Structure 1
Amino acid sequence: AAAAAFSVAILASRFFPHPRIIDAATGVPVPGAGLVFPAAHLLLTPFSSLADLLTCSGLSQLGALLAYVVAGFPFIIWLAWGRCRVPWRACCLAAAVYFGAFASFLAWTASTSRPAARLVLEDPELLAFDFHSHSSVSWDGRSHFSPEKNARWHERMGYGAGFLTDHGREAGALMRARAGDYATLVGREMGLEGLHIVLLGSSPSLDPDAYPGPEGLRRFIERSERDHGVLTILALPEYWKKAWDRLDELADWGVDGFEILNAFPKSLDMGVDERRRVIELCRSRGLIMAGASDNHGWGSAACAWNVIRLPGWRGWGSAERERRLLAALKRERFRAVSVLGRDRVETSRGLWVLTDPPKAIWRMLRGWSGFQCLVALSWLWSLTLAAIPIGRQLQAWQRH
């Protein structure tokens, strides 16, 4: 019955197709932009797609999904044993297998270089880039995620450039790692007064200790471009959590932009109304809207890209690409960048977040191609047919 219900849902989703990529500011599909999936991702469609969903979920949504997993264990027991009384040892073994499989899936999702989709843009003059990511140079970067691996990951996800913004250090970015058409650009992430500020461009003489306290924060933002030649982007989730009532003040001081989409789970908890407020602030003040992978070396799927028109970018080296990109950002400001993101269910508030996992799964199904639906149905019924004799043996063992 469960397999039949899932099959109906998969088939029904074909009548309600949904875009995979949207403009994060408007919520509408983006013509000429799409995701291309490697063969391994397609052959593992139900598992890879669910892993992508987890990677692009907010922290509250992941908690809600965990609640479903825990609540689903009694249902699994009922499917296996029916109305028979379940021995406690068998129940413990089943729990170990069930939760062990879930933990293994999470580890595969977060810790391995699994197959993931790549952004493809039809217009060759458009550059997809990342405002904010990390490497092993950061104190919280994954130990094996070197600047070179950071570059390879970005190239695999369809980026043509990205600012490597390790915490307080430019050493990794200055290596200017390359991978295919991808070029690493120089930046860093700096903390002041509880806020995280992404600095775009090199600032070797900058000492954060020279800007202590609230007055130091104001002074730095006011002088960042004049004294250090960098653009300042306020990162999520810190400004949302710690300076939400001061956004206009920060804009008055001269901050250059705000992240409106950040793939870190805590940041993805930001609600749609809050995002709209920041977008409107950027529009009214002429500030840069930014999307960030904020990748620290965990997870394989990308959830956010920034697209800017830079004709001829493939022919430029890393330094020239950085110079031209920064010049375009300074010149065009709000109009410079389109922030693209995977179409995901926005995080609901309070207990309503419990409705997010089923909505997210339904949206995932609606984004599948016909081939992906066929692959998913094949996996579903293969696993179901394999499980039926196991369940019958368990019930027969219990009766005897």
Structure 2
Amino acid sequence: MKRVIILLITGLFYFSLHAQQDIFQPKGIESPVVNADHTVTFRIKAPGADKVLVTGNLNSEKAFANISYEMQKGDNGVWSFTTQVLPSELYRYHFEVDSVRTIDPGNAHVIRDVANISNIFIIEDGTADLYKVQQVPHGTVSFRWYESKGNDKNRRLTVYTPAGYENNKDKYPVLYLLHGVGGDEEAWLGTGRSAQIFDNLISQGKMVPAIVVMTNGNVVQEAAPGKGSNGLERPNFMLPHTMDGKFEETFQDVMDFVESNYRTINKKEGRAIAGLSMGGYHTAYISMNYPNKFDYIGLFSAAIGVRPGPTPPSYIYKDVDQKLTQQKENGFKLYWIGIGSDDVLIYKGMQNFRKNLDEKGFKYEYLETEGGHTWNNWRNYLSVFSQKLFK
């Protein structure tokens, strides 16, 4: 009997050790290392490789573009590269080992953008302090399902409620925040760092506490890939009905759910809508087709005038001049436009849109920054726009 017990204990110990084998793996190479002077060193062990690159927005002079840098092979097959001094920002990167894309095995912090997985790191003491978790009161992020009658399905969205929402009976204004092509209801939470931005701005007294609703603009989806009944489907960049008017036509379903389930200020002055790229396109058309719903409108690198193919027949895109004139006459408190000067995809279309607004005497605020069609700009635009709301 004693021998049986010893064998049983030994077997359980072996099973436990085997089941937790990842915990007991030897410590890997440290990468990336943010040095005291704000240079960053990357390392990866690839003894059999002929060429290894690190790719990302890692140039302080061109911090909005992905650039590849050759890494140098050292002792024991460890490749390394050290950047020049980088400004405070959130950075994305990946490795390419003999032309095969891979994440950094030394960095557990990864993020998905469409179907690509990249590592991230933050350089503090500046702009990126707004993008990191600070010791401040934190809001709550919830994933909610709502009935979209217009799309004949239940759909998922993300809701941020500010710190203290659960402990009072106050009513709050609402910001509807829309993503770009290939994104979903998780995009602004991930690379966009929206929850951190809201927590930090609200705690600093720079943003009025608000409910923020982050939608899924792909109406053929129930939810982000892997979060709906279709299972672990592969993310796609451009889906059917993405920019054909269907999302705008059925946006009232989102608003009905939010205003029925949260304590909201159900007046024009209590609503804002903003979006990046495709989401900016959606924002422009939603705001002009729901002209008395929103007092605050934000277009971040809005993809106006660049939709592939002919304009869809949806009523959403008809009588634009008349709708803009009506929107102007109804009045609003803020129409805000931001775009990067190097945004070759969007720039011309936005300038044509601005010209149309100018001819109508349509008042708006305009911010042109360096860089292109990137999350660096969109995080910045969200930070600026959020501080102007509901005041």
More strand by share: 2
TM-score interval for Structure 1 and Structure 2 normalised by the shorter chain: 0.3 to 0.5
TM-score (norm 1): 0.32
TM-score (norm 2): 0.33
Higher relative contact order (CA 8 A, sep 6+): 1
More helix by share: 1
